Amino acid sequence: MLAGTVEHVHVGLATADASDELRQQLVGGPEVDLAIVRYPTTVGWVPSALLGVQDTHRIVPAGHIVYWGMDLAHPVGAIKMDRLEELGVGDTDECTASIREIFDGYVNHYSVNPLLPEVDTASAYADWASRLLVDPQADVFVTRSEGGAIAGIAVNRRGGDLVEVHLAGVSPAFRGQGEYAALVALLLAHYGGMDILRLVISTQDHNVGVQRQWARAGLLPLGAVATVHVMPRTGPRI
């Protein structure tokens, strides 16, 4: 996606202050052009740890990912499941074309960093979806219009008794017609009929429209993860 070297740094929920370790990870090893630091907003020591490297690195806040979920232990009401169609490896071109159309112009953490060049988010998400199509733990479901076009799509991955929706959306031609709400209801009904106890889904915090849809469907907010970009003040440009 970007020409330079990128490192992902994930901070867990551990309450112990690991500021020194985080700073060492960011500045003590081989220099990278961009370190993407993600941490739960409940972990309070990370911002001050990041300030400790600002003499040599630029610290760029890049938004938050908000997580919502629903307990599937209780059956979802009766719903017609015939609209939910699963895609396979042979449907890669159709799947990726749909993802590109849906996420064209979508703003993610790369997009909000003014120090980075413009990023083709839609193509990156399409590539992600194509990799999940061949993952035995993943499911890609679509709903279609009467004419056969993809109306909605959801890319999901199962792990134990949990399923996470990685990508979901509605094609521009079918927005405002209840398609997204129908897609969410179908996913809840489908996974509620399996040995899946919880469905989790996430988005950028600015994406309020889909969060309203989740709330209406009965999902509850679970928490948020902050994203910060750490970039050297000198050296190669991304």
User: Are 168 and 142 a contacting pair, CB within 8 Å?
Assistant: no
Residues 54 and 90 in one domain: no
d(CA 178, CA 53): 47
Pair 54, 134 in one domain: no
Tokens 């961009």, residue located:
34
* Residue at 153 is within a domain: yes
Q: Report the domain count for the chain.
A: 2
Whether residue 1 lies inside any domain: the answer is no
Tell me, yes or no, whether 143 and 213 share the same domain. yes
Mark whether 193 and 131 lie in a shared domain: yes
Q: Inter-axis angle of helices 179-192 and 208-217, to 10 degrees?
A: 50
| Domain of 169, in residue numbers | 69-222
My answer on whether 36 and 146 are in the same domain is: no
In this structure, is residue 154 part of a structural domain? yes
One domain, residues 91 and 162: yes
> 146-167: per-residue pLDDT in tens?
999 999 999 999 999 999 999 9
Residue 237 lies in a domain: no
Cross-strand bridge partners of residue 58: 231
Q: How many residues does the chain have?
A: 238
CATH of the domain at 150: 3.40.630.30
Q: Please, which residues have CB within 8 angstroms of residue 214's CB and are 6 or more apart in sequence? A: 68, 184, 201
Cβ-based neighbour number of residue 54 at 10 Å: 11
Instruction: Note whether 91 and 202 are same-domain residues.
Output: yes
Per-residue confidence in pLDDT tens, the chain, 238 aa: 555 678 899 998 766 789 999 999 898 878 899 999 999 999 999 999 999 999 999 999 999 999 999 999 766 665 777 899 999 999 999 999 999 999 999 999 999 999 999 889 999 999 999 999 999 999 999 999 999 999 999 999 999 999 999 999 999 999 999 999 999 999 999 999 888 999 999 999 999 999 999 999 999 999 999 999 999 987 555 5
Task: Report yes or no: 26 and 17 within 8 Å, Cβ to Cβ.
Answer: no
Name beta bridge partners: 44: none
Is position 26 within any domain? yes
CATH of the domain at 51: 3.30.110
Distance CA 183, CA 201 (A): 13
Nearest of 68, 62, 66, 69 to residue 204 by alpha carbon: 66
Same domain flag for 119 and 209: yes
| Cα–Cα distances in angstroms (integers) from residue 158 to residues 140, 199, 210, 212, in the given order | 11, 9, 21, 24
Does 46 reside within a domain? yes
Residues 100 and 180 reside in one and the same domain: yes
Please write the tens of the pLDDT for every residue from 162-213.
999 999 999 999 999 999 999 999 999 999 988 899 999 999 999 999 999 9
Residue 55 sits in the same domain as residue 95 = no
For residues 116 and 58, membership in a common domain is answered with no
Answer yes or no: do 15 and 79 share one domain.
no
Strand partners, 147: none
Question: Is residue 238 situated within a structural domain?
Answer: no
